[in-house]
Amino acid sequence: MRGTRRLTIALIAATCLLAGVAIGLVIPRAAQITAASPDQTGRVDGTTARSAGRNVYSPDIRHDSYVRQEQLKLVEMLERQCRIARENCDLAKASREALERD
């Protein structure tokens, strides 16, 4: 009886694990198939699906559009902190100058 119960629990656990792996493999592929072209797919934050990540094969990250967007977000957060809390103003100014210089 005890061995049968352990076997049943092991089979249920294996079935759940396999179902989870199958769902994890199917859902991203289904999302890629049903998604519109990258130019038409918008996001809530205003970026497009094409800029959703860094081009990992690019040898120069300084001019990568995704990296530039992330740097701009950080500079804007520093400037906001400077305006509101009067903290890190020198860093915000230097960051904006460095971003505009590139």
Q: Note the pLDDT of residue 39.
A: 47
CA 99 to chain centre: 22
How much is the pLDDT for 31?
58
What pLDDT does residue 56 have? 74
Q: What is the pLDDT along the chain (102 residues), one digit of tens a residue?
A: 677 888 888 889 888 888 888 787 777 665 556 554 444 444 454 544 455 677 777 777 777 888 888 889 999 999 999 999 998 899 999 999 988 887
Which pLDDT score is estimated for 40?
47
SS3 letters across the chain:
CHHHHHHHHHHHHHHHHHHHHHHHHHHHHHHHHHCCCCCCCECCCCCEHHHCCCCCCCCCCCCCHHHHHHHHHHHHHHHHHHHHHCCCHHHHHHHHHHHHHC
